[in-house]
Structure 1
Amino acid sequence: MTVDRQLRISVLSRRFGFWFGVVSAFGGLSLPTAHAQVCATPGGAGDVSSVSGVINTYWTPATGSYNAGSTTIALSGQRGAAATLAEGDLVLVIQMQCATLNSTDTLAYGDGGATEPAAGYTSSAPGCAAGRYQFVRAGAGSNNGSLVLTGSPLTATYQQAVATNTNGRRTFQVIRVPQYANATLGGTVTAPAWDGNSGGVVAIDAAFTLNFNGQTIDADGAGFRGAGGRSRDANDPVERFRWDADTRHGGKGEGIAGTPRFVSEKRSPDNGNLATITDLGATWGGYPTGTASTGDWARGAPGNAGGGGAFWDGASDNGGGGGGGNATAGGRGGVGWRSAGYAGILADYSNLPDKKWGFGGAAFAQAGIARLVMGGGGGGGDNNGNSQAELSSGAAGGGIVMVRAVTVTGNGTIRSRGGRAADNPSNDAAGGGGAGGSVAVVATTWSAALTIDVSGGRGGDAWVPGSAAHGGGGGGAGGVAITTGAATVTANGGAPGITNTAQGQPGGATHGAQTGGNGTSAVVAPGADTPGTDVGRTCKSELRITKTNTPGVNGEVDQSGDTVASGTTTAYTIVVNNDGPKQANNALIADPAPSGLTCATATCTAAGGASCPAASGAALVSALQGSGATIPLLPVGGSVSLVLTCTVQ
């Protein structure tokens, strides 16, 4: 009798260990079975049936420039899921902020162009680039104070630096990503909101299947923060694109080009409630002016952050804040209050002599599978003391979600919407909405029914029941959604805030405030991948196991009635082939002792660059029938043949 049974399985490879069993019963050999049980790296998560809450751990790198080839990053400020960084952990390194601005107080503010809008950035800063990221493997010696990248160095430059007179703040963060074998969501998965150093990102890696199980990954409002509202009343009757003192104009939001001193924690996309403001301190470096790092005010929109509404004079003020940007630009804020009224003013307000709206944050033109950013924060509305300052704050943008798996399945939702700015019920301006965030879901096999929402947030309303028009906030832009399968994607730009129409202004209730641009979505080839170390779905091998027993009694086909004589010797062979695409290291093979046989010895033959287990003879039998024998190296195309010689009982 010759019995040839085959099984093809996917197992984790590279630096991962795995277990598979070959199970047989001698009186009619059973089909060998095998499975990947756990990723046996330190901190490996294995199969998890109820994933929820905050699953990532975040660290802040030490100040410095870490160039391509760097192998050590000093860490501090751990937060998120409790974990100790250790060798073999999967780590995401991502540059959150790094862009160069034209900081002149002209229409050239931002991108250097000579016409409206005064918004954007001239380029990624030399070396680092906002949105750039890579996955790396934590090497030996890694801990909560140090990421060691021996064997998995940085492939680009990452920078951590405070603001200067010529550059905004530059930040990157280090994120531990759980390495699931198979995972099922059991509740909402979230990220701690971005705090200027870390957070705002959800990253999941499943080597085999991620089942959404009707659950949600939620990064709503977890991104760049809006401008913190401030009350001030100082005349400045010129078009002002940046201002460097906390004396006039609405503030700029936070984005890829920097962080202002005053930021808003207004994150919900679903209500216009009061914002919470954080003051980062008098010594904080915000946006550059060329001679200082305090250019946090007025209409210009730095990077993808919204600009602030302006105060002109006592007869013209309360311009609305601009919305944040991402895939496209945020909407500009509303025109504001004007005692002279609007006779002769065009519907688009282009001939208005006292322009006060904050510009919307610019589009992030480099968005794609290799560059992902959080949604820009909305700019603040001008507030001259008729209401709580918090009510003129901008709202936060959406965060970043990255999912990598071989298979995604089940119904599920991913949300990364921009926050809605607070509504201002009194005669002051409102802030801009936050932009939608960025989502990337990359899988080889797609059987999920996913709903993804990266819509921008609504701008705040301004004195809707009042007797004179004020400035509502601009809408946040829609975000970015990239998938390798069909999903239902919503990426609408946020609506602008409104005001009253008591003055019969030409722009109606929106009064010049604009909707944020719609976001973008793309379905890319399943082979598309996120940059960095091979992990999860790409770090696997197809192992083909063949089990053969000779001789038999009833011919070449295994029959349930096959018998052998007691006391005779027989042998069976187990062959493990690696069909790729990756090399398998330290594979563990186990073959529980078959009933009716006593196996005394075993031999091994390796081919194609493979290595046999260290044990041989009786010791190899003991290992196979016990906890398993390790195959140190099994390259693509390689094979290991194990022959067990046994006596029939």
Structure 2
Amino acid sequence: MVSLQQHHCRLARSATLIIALLLGQSGAWAAVCANPGRDGQGGSDAVINSYFTGPATQTLSPGTRTFSLTRQRGTAPLRAGDLALLLQVQGASMNTANHADYGQLQGHGLVAEWVRIDRVEGEQVWAQGGGSGGGLLHGYVNAPASREQGRRRWQLVRVPQYEHFSLQQDSRALPWDGYTGGVLAVDVRRKVALNGHRLSVAGAGFRGGPALSLQGALGRPADWRYPAPSVQDRQAGYGHHASKGEGVAGTPVLLLEAGNGYPDGDMGRGAPANAGGGGNGLDLSHLRLGNGGGGGNGSVGGHGMPVEGGGLGGHVAPRALVLGGGGGAAARRKNDGGQGGAGGGLLLIRAAGLQGHGGLDLRGAAGSAAGDVGGGGGGGGTLWLDLPATDSLAITPDHAGGAGAKGGGQGGDGQLLARGERQWPGFQPLSVAGAEAGFRCRPAGHWITGVLFEDNGAGGGQAFNQRRDGEEASLPGLMLTLKDPVSGWKKTTTSDASGAFQFRLSEAQSRGQTLELSLSLPEGQQLPELPSLNGERGQRHGHQVRWPLQATADRHSGPLPLGLIAEPGWQAPDDTVLAPGGTAVLAFEYRAPVTGQVQFHSDHPAVRGLLMDRACSGDSEQWQSGQNAGWTVMAGERLCVRVPVRFGGQATRIPVTATTLPHNAPTGFIIAPQQTSVKILPGS
């Protein structure tokens, strides 16, 4: 009896073997995969992710493979074989001038990628991504706020790799605390079953501006930004306006343990990027007060009241994996209250399907009130889905912004994103690079893979070994067909830039039925040897090659190596005009399709012999006549044959034949002799 743990270990080894084979066959075609299904059955825990970040000033450059992690939240440790999401949570730059353009984005750098954890030793982590040398594709920065830019933070989120994910209770993200959190991410080899429960990141995003009781200072009703009071000033109640919310461009100082907040001040009605602005005090005594603005994300947050002093709503966030912006606080004179609501978090689902009744909750939190003023609501969060292309989406995500309290602004709606183009209403495409989803690495249905290349021995490779090596070229753009001969169902695909192809069948399409994979050989190409697919040798039908296979669930067919050989390139010169009795030397050009030998021959009486010109320089290498000896050629080599002729005066066509003799060709494989000709016409 095989235990569940042993089963998943075997699955992981199977996936690793498949990827290794694909890498061996087709260079860097295969995606990075972790260990699909290694965490077994999920859905019984309320919190499934763990969160990590590095030192306060650590920068990760593109290509990085190893870095430090110094802070963790969540119960599951990071270990080799884990899947993780690395993302720049904060890092946007914005306009900080004290006028109406305050807070507009100037750049964001909010990148993200999936990585596989290869090794963990103490605080040191080795990761593999989709960048140069298997390192990170993007760069990531942890840095405190400066006079030019707000605080920058990245985090690494451990993402469980479930075989099944069937919710037994609501699952949620730990809220963002300024360092980590705010993300709920799951990778499922099969389907996510909600069972009436919710996946929730509601209120888990950027934090709202905290309320602060102030007696007034020298702020103006028209201020877009104003310095936050020092600790001593806070104790005396000296200061003006209310705190802005937290967002992609930084964190207000009142939410920090130490350091600086937004450049040139954290208070006032200007909205910093997707965070809501704080309400302004409309007089020097801080008696007439403005409400906070709502946080933004997929849409702008609502403005706080009154029009002349309420905090502005947060701006639209860039299309990226972002947290909803925090709402701005309301201005206060005494007592606490009027705080901004937190934004919704980030929810990512990679699965073979999403089914059942339940909820995807990305709502921003409401602002709070004290007296007649209130904070702005948090912006809605961001949903990102990676599901099979054929899946419909029967669940409506709730990504509304939080309500503003009293006269506080409503939070803006969140973002709905998906891998690739989708027809789901309201969704926008966003690709996230790096390690592939488990259901793509090892689908629960049937997976068929292979690679097409020239198995000709180019660049020191070995011809006819059914393996792409040396400098053998890939063959992109060739069409393959998978069909069910009984039902008539058919699916086609083409080889990609590296020559690789794949078919993926869902569990519903993998019922053990017999299917047929076929390739129509392109003009001028031959398949010297028929490789086997799952032990079944291919069959030739004219210019088509076919393989039968059983479409069994949880099965991989392949990788199928298809090493083709092209016909030789053999080209005659343009037709020539000669005077009767005249002579000429005509140059024919040959390109070798495979390493081996070539013979040239012509029986035409006007041909006086053959001059070999290997470099096509116009200089003859050797005179040949009669039946020719073979000339050694390398795959892809170009050489010329110079043919001296004496013209008798009658129009004639002179044929020359090239016979290619491949080295180490399989038994029975030949390249048919190629003949081309030049026409000689009489002239004066």
Q: 1:174 aligns with which of 156, 170, 173?
A: 156
Q: Which residue of 2 aligns with 1:340?
A: none
- CA 1:140–1:237 in 2, change beyond 3 Å: closer, same or farther? closer
Q: Which residue of 2 aligns with 1:8?
A: none
Q: 1:160 aligns with which of 125, 142, 145?
A: 142
Alignment of 1:388-467 (within 5 A): 388-389=335-336, 391-424=337-370, 426-427=371-372, 429-444=373-388, 445-446=390-391, 449-461=394-406
Q: What secondary structure, in the 3-state scheme, does the structure 1 residue paired with 2:439 have?
A: helix
- CA 1:97–1:607 in 2, change beyond 3 Å: closer, same or farther? farther
Q: 1:362 aligns with which of 293, 315, 318?
A: 315
Distance 2:97 2:404 in 1: 27
Tell whether the 8 Å contact from 2:340 to 2:368 is kept in structure 1 after alignment: yes
Comparing 212-221 with 61-70, which one deviates more in the overlay? 61-70
Q: Which residue of 2 aligns with 1:84?
A: 77
Tell whether the 8 Å contact from 2:275 to 2:328 is kept in structure 1 after alignment: yes
Alignment of 1:208-247 (within 5 A): 208-235=190-217, 236-246=219-229, 247=239
Q: Which residue of 2 aligns with 1:54?
A: 47
Alignment of 1:530-545 (within 5 A): 530-540=432-442, 542=446
Unaligned runs of 5+ in 2: 1-10, 19-32, 230-238, 450-499, 505-528, 536-554, 564-684
**AA partner of residue 340 (structure 2):** G
Distance 1:17 1:51 in 2: 31
How far residue 392 of structure 1 moved from its aligned partner, in angstroms, is 1.4
**AA partner of residue 323 (structure 1):** G
Distance 1:88 1:406 in 2: 21
Q: Which residue of 2 aligns with 1:136?
A: 115
Q: Which residue of 2 aligns with 1:285?
A: 260
Distance 1:56 1:123 in 2: 29
State yes or no: 1:374 paired with 2:327.
Answer: no
How far residue 65 of structure 1 moved from its aligned partner, in angstroms, is 2.1
- CA 1:401–1:358 in 2, change beyond 3 Å: closer, same or farther? same
Tell whether the 8 Å contact from 1:43 to 1:88 is kept in structure 2 after alignment: no
How far residue 636 of structure 1 moved from its aligned partner, in angstroms, is 4.6
State yes or no: 1:302 paired with 2:281.
Answer: no
State yes or no: 1:146 paired with 2:125.
Answer: yes
How far residue 439 of structure 1 moved from its aligned partner, in angstroms, is 0.7
Q: What secondary structure, in the 3-state scheme, does the structure 1 residue paired with 2:395 have?
A: strand
**CA shift digits 1:362-412 (9 cap, x unpaired):** 011x31xxx121110000111011xx22x1111100000000112222222
Distance 1:237 1:486 in 2: 48
Q: What secondary structure, in the 3-state scheme, does the structure 1 residue paired with 2:312 have?
A: coil
Distance 1:70 1:633 in 2: 35
Tell whether the 8 Å contact from 1:419 to 1:458 is kept in structure 2 after alignment: yes
State yes or no: 1:521 paired with 2:426.
Answer: yes
- CA 1:441–1:200 in 2, change beyond 3 Å: closer, same or farther? same
**CA shift digits 1:318-355 (9 cap, x unpaired):** 111110000111111111xxxxxxxxxxxxx5xxxxx2
How far residue 184 of structure 1 moved from its aligned partner, in angstroms, is 1.4
How far residue 635 of structure 1 moved from its aligned partner, in angstroms, is 2.6
Tell whether the 8 Å contact from 1:71 to 1:153 is kept in structure 2 after alignment: yes
**AA partner of residue 417 (structure 2):** I
**CA shift digits 1:11-67 (9 cap, x unpaired):** 87885469xxxxxxxxxxxxxxxxxxxxx9779634315443111111012222212
Q: Which residue of 2 aligns with 1:199?
A: 181
Q: Which residue of 2 aligns with 1:563?
A: none
How far residue 136 of structure 1 moved from its aligned partner, in angstroms, is 0.8
Q: What secondary structure, in the 3-state scheme, does the structure 2 residue paired with 1:262 have?
A: helix
Distance 1:99 1:14 in 2: 42
Question: How many positions carry a matched residue from both structures?
Answer: 429
Q: Which residue of 2 aligns with 1:258?
A: 250
- CA 1:87–1:43 in 2, change beyond 3 Å: closer, same or farther? farther
State yes or no: 1:383 paired with 2:332.
Answer: yes
**AA partner of residue 421 (structure 1):** G
Distance 1:323 1:544 in 2: 50
- CA 1:535–1:195 in 2, change beyond 3 Å: closer, same or farther? same
Tell whether the 8 Å contact from 2:225 to 2:266 is kept in structure 1 after alignment: yes
Q: Which residue of 2 aligns with 1:478?
A: 413
**CA shift digits 1:413-432 (9 cap, x unpaired):** 100100011122x24x2111
Tell whether the 8 Å contact from 1:90 to 1:135 is kept in structure 2 after alignment: yes
How far residue 487 of structure 1 moved from its aligned partner, in angstroms, is 12
- CA 1:315–1:205 in 2, change beyond 3 Å: closer, same or farther? closer
- CA 1:49–1:92 in 2, change beyond 3 Å: closer, same or farther? closer
Structure 1 length-normalised TM? 0.60
Q: What secondary structure, in the 3-state scheme, does the structure 1 residue paired with 2:150 have?
A: coil
Distance 2:254 2:301 in 1: 20
- CA 1:402–1:143 in 2, change beyond 3 Å: closer, same or farther? farther
How far residue 110 of structure 1 moved from its aligned partner, in angstroms, is 1.6
- CA 1:225–1:100 in 2, change beyond 3 Å: closer, same or farther? same
Tell whether the 8 Å contact from 1:86 to 1:143 is kept in structure 2 after alignment: no
Q: What secondary structure, in the 3-state scheme, does the structure 1 residue paired with 2:298 have?
A: coil
Q: 1:123 aligns with which of 101, 104, 107?
A: 107
How far residue 482 of structure 1 moved from its aligned partner, in angstroms, is 3.0
Distance 1:441 1:138 in 2: 22
Tell whether the 8 Å contact from 1:12 to 1:207 is kept in structure 2 after alignment: no
Q: What secondary structure, in the 3-state scheme, does the structure 2 residue paired with 1:176 have?
A: strand
**CA shift digits 1:69-113 (9 cap, x unpaired):** 111121021111x223222211100111111122122223222xx
State yes or no: 1:331 paired with 2:310.
Answer: no
Q: What secondary structure, in the 3-state scheme, does the structure 2 residue paired with 1:52 have?
A: coil
Q: What secondary structure, in the 3-state scheme, does the structure 1 residue paired with 2:387 have?
A: strand
Distance 2:169 2:73 in 1: 21
- CA 1:16–1:51 in 2, change beyond 3 Å: closer, same or farther? farther
Distance 1:439 1:42 in 2: 24
- CA 1:330–1:209 in 2, change beyond 3 Å: closer, same or farther? same
**AA partner of residue 123 (structure 1):** G
Tell whether the 8 Å contact from 2:275 to 2:326 is kept in structure 1 after alignment: yes
**CA shift digits 1:505-542 (9 cap, x unpaired):** xxxxxxxxxxxxxxx82176xxx753222231221263
Among all aligned residue pairs of Structure 1 and Structure 2, give the percentage whose two residues are the same amino acid: 33
Q: What secondary structure, in the 3-state scheme, does the structure 2 residue paired with 1:538 have?
A: helix
How far residue 142 of structure 1 moved from its aligned partner, in angstroms, is 5.8
Q: What secondary structure, in the 3-state scheme, does the structure 2 residue paired with 1:208 have?
A: strand
Tell whether the 8 Å contact from 1:322 to 1:330 is kept in structure 2 after alignment: yes
Distance 1:415 1:384 in 2: 35
Tell whether the 8 Å contact from 2:244 to 2:266 is kept in structure 1 after alignment: yes
Tell whether the 8 Å contact from 2:15 to 2:442 is kept in structure 1 after alignment: no
Distance 2:348 2:62 in 1: 23
Distance 2:169 2:17 in 1: 29
Q: What secondary structure, in the 3-state scheme, does the structure 2 residue paired with 1:537 have?
A: helix
**CA shift digits 1:101-146 (9 cap, x unpaired):** 22122223222xxxxxxxxx2222xxxx12x211011123466542
- CA 1:106–1:544 in 2, change beyond 3 Å: closer, same or farther? closer
